[in-house]
Structure 1
Amino acid sequence: MSAVLAMRLPVEQDLAAFVQLLQRLQLPHRVTEEAGEQLLWVTDEAVAEQVRSLYQRYPQGAELPAVPVAAGRPGFWQTLRAAPLTLVLLAATLLVALLSWGGENLAVVHWLNFMDFRVQGQYLLFVPLSDSLAAGQWWRLWSPALLHFGVLHLAMNSLWIWELGRRIEWRQGGLVLLMLVLSYSLVSNIGQYVWSGPSLFGGLSGVLYGLLGHCWIYQKLAPNPFYHLPPGVVGMMLIWLLVCMTGIFELVQLAAIANAAHVAGLLAGCGTGLLGGALARSRQ
């Protein structure tokens, strides 16, 4: 293969675990020795940048599952340990789902909804957002992302957050993932509020569409194995978004979809993916 030097390391540095990590991620490479140094070669500068980024975070290959390549995929517990922030986000979502009993316990829901409310008969009387913010309830700008209404709503969002969140955590680190999640939840919640006005809404859908857009555009600009999604995933998710926007689910009274949150999250994710991908590409 064509050779681009990714790293120079002392000959006494044990690279066995890190090389195993590169093999598991299917990053083409080879290691040679020269003048008391180990030289790690890769196919091109894009892969070299990925390898250097990996080595900064996982020099011993310990943060990602240390299993033989023949095993095919990492073990369950090792995978969990490799994505702690994603796991914390899902645990918090599950806890809120249990406390709110799938959105049915309004005594809990009213503390997490974008706008506070009180129940009067069969109606919800909403408190102006400005009053809540003046009272110091700033968490409302983000907390609706943790609310889910029903098991299916929770399960679908959790699966996608796990799939996309851990990819970003592995590639760009937990701090970047945290900033992205907070940004997408804020943008999607505000977008839904501006579009629909006072209402009851929640869920991680806006965040997951943000993560999807981030991986999608980032991968277009700076291809890497972490953000490579199976063929058709992006297209399927965009088609699903369009179907939801037709209002068919509201028409058959199956569910009320926060479409504005989805669109706002997707646009925000495409924006961060454009920025992050452009910066990564410039470094290449």
Structure 2
Amino acid sequence: MNTAIEALRLPLGTDLSGFVALLQRLGVPHRVSEEGGEQVLWVPDSRLVREVGLLYARFPEGDPQGALPAPPRRSTSGVLRQLRRSPLTSLMLLATLLVAALTLLGDNLAAVGWLTFQEFHIQGDYLYFVPLAESLAAGQWWRLLTPMLIHFGWLHLAMNALWYWELGQRIEARQGAPMLLLLTLLFGLASNVAQYLFGGPALFGGLSGVLYGLLGHCWIFHRLAPGAAYRLPPGVVVMMLIWLLVCLSGLVTALGLGAIANAAHVAGLVAGCLTGALGGAWARRRG
């Protein structure tokens, strides 16, 4: 790395091997050095600092149980076959990648402003949000959904994309593309509205609320109608619920790792559990 920015500084006795292995698995460029009796983890981009900090808060010992889906490592023909088997999942991820490129991962505020829950104007260093009712009256109904496509930082994008690929293709295979589309839109709407109602005017985005919805859907559906498609790796649900509680406690924000859209996560999870209960009960009744 030609330039390096400090992302973590930890006591020398802290075992970073598991976390470093996780960074390598996700393809995050980094290096670790010893300075003044401490370990320092360096990254080449300032936008990675917050993301690596959040990742460490969530997985300080790495990912020993394989809770995180691994990036695909298949031949080109194998990847193409997988994309053809999961067209809706692939299109959703393509849309997310296009938005990431258009918005420069949140740096292009002019482009971001077209997709946020509320339209905003920039004056100096401040954002002034337009009342939602005015935007909806002007026909900008897409704002209720499009925040789920916005991501701030490429690690934020990578984590959410991996999870959507893992959960989306399961639902598409088990219940079909129309159901996955319906669930994605439903969870996106529920999480965005909840975050707006509880957090007020703010700049927020990401697929996390949708992902908690998909997770809750698979979890409850599988408990009512067990099947291979929705059988998640051991510890995934527990890990995600623990992380949700950690975020709700305010610890992540107190550590200076940025604000978390807690209301979006909770709303997505609740909505997903409800759809999972309905779908699982129906599947169980049909045998």
> Quick one: distance in 1 between partners of 2:121 and 2:134?
14
> Is it true that 1:241 corresponds to 2:244 in the alignment?
yes
> Is it true that 1:182 corresponds to 2:221 in the alignment?
no
- Paired residues in the alignment total 212
> Is it true that 1:92 corresponds to 2:95 in the alignment?
yes
CA positional deviation for 1:75: 2.6
In the other structure, the counterpart of 2:85 is 82
Which letter does structure 1 place at the counterpart of 2:262? Answer: N
CA positional deviation for 1:250: 1.7
- TM-score calculated relative to the size of structure 2: 0.72
In the other structure, the counterpart of 1:135 is 138
> Quick one: distance in 2 between partners of 1:252 and 1:123?
24
> Quick one: distance in 1 between partners of 2:95 and 2:258?
24
Instruction: For 1:108-257, list aligned pairs within 5 A.
Output: 108-257=111-260
Runs of 4+ in 1 over 4 A off after TM superposition: none
Say which SS state the counterpart of residue 111 (structure 1) adopts: coil
Which letter does structure 1 place at the counterpart of 2:180? Answer: L
- TM-score calculated relative to the size of structure 1: 0.73
> Quick one: distance in 1 between partners of 2:127 and 2:268?
27
> Quick one: distance in 2 between partners of 1:113 and 1:253?
24
Identity of paired residues, percent? 65
CA positional deviation for 1:253: 2.1
> Quick one: distance in 2 between partners of 1:147 and 1:111?
10
CA positional deviation for 1:278: 0.4
CA positional deviation for 1:255: 2.0
> Please, which of 101, 107, 131 is the counterpart of residue 104 of structure 1?
107
> Please, which of 268, 271, 278 is the counterpart of residue 274 of structure 2?
271
CA positional deviation for 1:146: 0.2
Structure 1 residues 13-65: Cα deviation after superposition (integer angstroms, max 9, x where no partner): xxxxxxxxxxxxxxxxxxxxxxxxxxxxxxxxxxxxxxxxxxxxxxxxxxxxx
Instruction: For 1:25-104, list aligned pairs within 5 A.
Output: 75-104=78-107
CA positional deviation for 1:249: 2.3
> Quick one: distance in 2 between partners of 1:114 and 1:245?
22
> Quick one: distance in 1 between partners of 2:133 and 2:117?
11
> Quick one: distance in 2 between partners of 1:228 and 1:262?
21
> Quick one: distance in 1 between partners of 2:87 and 2:236?
24
Moved more, 75-84 or 204-213: 75-84
Larger radius of gyration: 1
In the other structure, the counterpart of 1:55 is none
Structure 1 residues 171-198: Cα deviation after superposition (integer angstroms, max 9, x where no partner): 0000000000000000000000001000
> Quick one: distance in 1 between partners of 2:203 and 2:256?
16
Say which SS state the counterpart of residue 128 (structure 2) adopts: strand
Which runs of 5 or more residues in structure 1 are unaligned? 1-70
In the other structure, the counterpart of 1:32 is none
> Quick one: distance in 1 between partners of 2:132 and 2:153?
26
> Quick one: distance in 2 between partners of 1:228 and 1:78?
22
Which letter does structure 2 place at the counterpart of 1:253? Answer: G
Moved more, 236-245 or 83-92: 236-245
CA positional deviation for 1:168: 0.1
CA positional deviation for 1:248: 2.1
Structure 1 residues 89-124: Cα deviation after superposition (integer angstroms, max 9, x where no partner): 001001101111111111011110000000011111
Say which SS state the counterpart of residue 103 (structure 1) adopts: coil
